[in-house]
Structure 1
Amino acid sequence: MSDTEFRPIDWRSACETDVGTVREVNEDAILLRPDIHLWAVADGMGGHSVGDIASQTVVAALESIDGADLLSEFVDQVDDALIKANSEIIAYSENYLNSAPMGTTVVSLITRGRVGVCLWVGDSRLYRLRGGELSQLSRDHSQVEELVQMGVITPEQAIDHPDSHVITRAVGGETDVYVDINLFSVQIGDTFLLCSDGLYNAVEIEDIADCLAVREPDDASAELMRRALGNHAKDNVSLVVVRGEAGNC
């Protein structure tokens, strides 16, 4: 076992968010809490001055947690924060919008030692670049993804499917919110990408991997945004790049 495996991991992160080339309002929200090893991207929906409230409600709820030292407690804090945000969004809709639909997707990453956890609702995604290979660590809560999982359509057919925008879960969408959780290993050199669908619908997966291969998170995130806007992103684009580097023993 190498000395590298025992060294702590220092996490560096950078973010970008933009309204895109079509929309008038940015309904996305981003959270960077490197102090407690928590990052998140939320993609609001429901229209002007509604979707942004939903995404900001989620980010505010996550911002309020202290990040427990014990991983299981940390996961519970994030889960509880999303449940709280779900209730607040529903209450806002009932009180101010006559119960009109509003909600938000969210994808979050937390790390403790050599373990990472993704908690998510909806189709915002978490990717990991390791050894030049890009892997998606979340799975979309969408009608198209369900068709792929059932073998009705192929992943290639899902890309341009007419129902690709229809999600099956959102924070604020139902009285009860169900948060999916994925645990995985983390190691020095891993690069993670949290993003809204505005990014991965505008930038090819191969190009995403190329951008993440850039060593500095600031440069990688800026290049991802440049390519998304250069490809005339039709939706808001938000992303967080998190890279693990060898820390001091």
Structure 2
Amino acid sequence: MSKGSASWRMAMVSHVGQVRLRNEDCVACDETRGLAVLADGMGGHAGGAEAARMAVLTWMDRLHAVEEGMLVEDDLRHAAHLANRAVFMAGRRDPGLRGMGSTLVAGCFRADGVLLVANVGDSRLYRLRGDVLECLTRDHSVLRARCDAGMIGAASEGPPALRGLLTRAIGVEAEVVPDVGAFAVEPNDHYLLCSDGLTDMVPDVDIAEILATLGASPQVAAKHLVDLANDRGGMDNVSVVVVSSCASVRLGTELG
């Protein structure tokens, strides 16, 4: 795929929400290279915003440094390792940033029709194919762990106090293991990267409806999703990246 001939369109929106005083989310995308990444920082004061910013910048710098060609899953793992180390070391150097961390979710859309996905934490990547919305990532959270253990029936049934308690995050420990997977991209798929500021306010059924009706115009869909989260309370920062595959996308092979 030559530059300027991407088989997808991307748009991103990040908003402070209706309650928080600062935006600790960070998003970035590169339509030409097929890269999208989102981070939701934590740590209070300046720490959360700085952790998210560092995670996103380190991630993008690493993948941009890979020579033009096909990214592989190990590239994503290495980028996550570098992002984690950057945030962790910054927290150790500066007492004012100690304890900061971030989620990270990223998608790398390859020219051969394969999507590589990486995530740490509870920011998510969804795919709408036809009328079926599927979350391609798995939350690294106490709530998700209790669901998997059969302690509660569904994440929506868990106590509110467990929301946001992560079992894995960027920059909290010296090492982190991201979940990495590969998926086939099909024509007219719509993808959504989002922070929990969206999913805590907008249920999957509404996300699916918006992507189905507006996903072909990613900027419109992204703005509508963020506006809806804010209309319903905007209790947290809310950030999204919407990616729409074109009808001419080259079909890939489902790998994960």
TM-score of the alignment, normalized to the shorter chain, above 0.5 = yes
Structure 1 segments unaligned to the other structure (5+ residues): 1-7
Q: CA deviation at 1:175?
A: 0.9
1:241 aligns with 2:238: no
Q: 1:157 to 1:10 in 2, by over 3 A?
A: closer
> Counterparts of 2:79 and 2:249 in 1: how far apart (Å)?
32
The answer as to whether partners of 1:145 and 1:158 remain within 8 angstroms in 2 is no
Percent identity for Structure 1 against Structure 2: 36
Q: CA deviation at 1:98?
A: 6.6
What SS does the aligned partner of 2:103 have? Answer: strand
Residue correspondences, number: 240
Q: Could you tell me which amino acid in structure 2 is paired with residue 25 of structure 1?
A: R
1:220 aligns with 2:221: yes
Paired residues for 1:1-249 under 5 Å: 10-64=7-61, 65-66=63-64, 67-68=66-67, 69-72=69-72, 75-97=73-95, 100-112=98-110, 113-155=112-154, 157-158=156-157, 160-213=159-212, 214=214, 215-247=216-248
Q: Could you tell me which amino acid in structure 1 is paired with residue 161 of structure 2?
A: P
The answer as to whether partners of 1:144 and 1:158 remain within 8 angstroms in 2 is no
The answer as to whether partners of 2:187 and 2:247 remain within 8 angstroms in 1 is yes
> Counterparts of 2:240 and 2:170 in 1: how far apart (Å)?
19
> Counterparts of 1:60 and 1:85 in 2: how far apart (Å)?
8
The answer as to whether partners of 2:185 and 2:249 remain within 8 angstroms in 1 is no
Structure 2 segments unaligned to the other structure (5+ residues): 251-256
> Counterparts of 2:156 and 2:56 in 1: how far apart (Å)?
33
Q: State the 4+ residue runs in structure 1 displaced beyond 4 angstroms.
A: none
> Counterparts of 1:216 and 1:119 in 2: how far apart (Å)?
25
Q: Could you tell me which amino acid in structure 1 is paired with residue 245 of structure 2?
A: G
